[in-house]
Amino acid sequence: MSDDDRPAVGLAAKVLTVSDGVVHGTRDDASGRALVERLDGVGFDVVEHRVTADGADLVADVLTEMCDGFAGVIVSTGGTGFAPRDQTPEGTRRVMEREAPGLAEAMRLVNPLGRLSRGVVGIRGSVVICNTPGSPKGCIEQLDAILDVLPHALRLLADTPTAH
């Protein structure tokens, strides 16, 4: 993304790492840090980075809390695969009001392994919630696939005039 494509000042972001291993201290949160760095690097104000264990109920509870009183994007990492504890999409669906399937489809197209991601993208209030894979490479690739349109999507959610 060039400097001309950087989001306008004032766009906020939060990151949620979903990982039993990170919660229990047996795994490094490299993906969460990578997302924070990437979002910050393109001009988003990252106001929170949380960690939760896997499971649909936990993910739904934490996302509900993170959305309350917030306008911006929440990017999760982890829990989008095929393992039994990978339930991030199920938890996300519980809290989102509307889906944004075009964004999720674009994210999956960046890499052949993206076809194994069950991640979803949706809207709750003034928040866009994006699920990304648990690997640092995968989460950044998938986020990069939609970074160019996220500022526009957030402006539309905020009912801000746009140039379209």
Q: What is the mean pLDDT of the chain?
A: 93
On whether the CB atoms of residues 56 and 90 are closer than 8 A, the answer is: yes
In the structure, what pLDDT confidence band is assigned to residue 160 with cuts at 50, 70 and 90?
confident
DSSP letter, residue 99: E
pLDDT tens for 38-67 read: 999 999 999 999 999 999 999 999 999 999
What domains can be seen in the chain, in order of their start residue?
11-157 (3.40.980.10)
pLDDT tens for 109-141 read: 999 999 999 999 999 999 999 999 999 999 999
Name residue, tokens 């109920």.
57
In the structure, what pLDDT confidence band is assigned to residue 3 with cuts at 50, 70 and 90?
very low
Is the pLDDT at 5 greater than 80? The verdict is no
Which of 85, 84, 135, 76 is closest to 110 using CA atoms? 135
Name residue, tokens 């695969």.
81
In the structure, what pLDDT confidence band is assigned to residue 162 with cuts at 50, 70 and 90?
low
pLDDT for 159 equals: 81
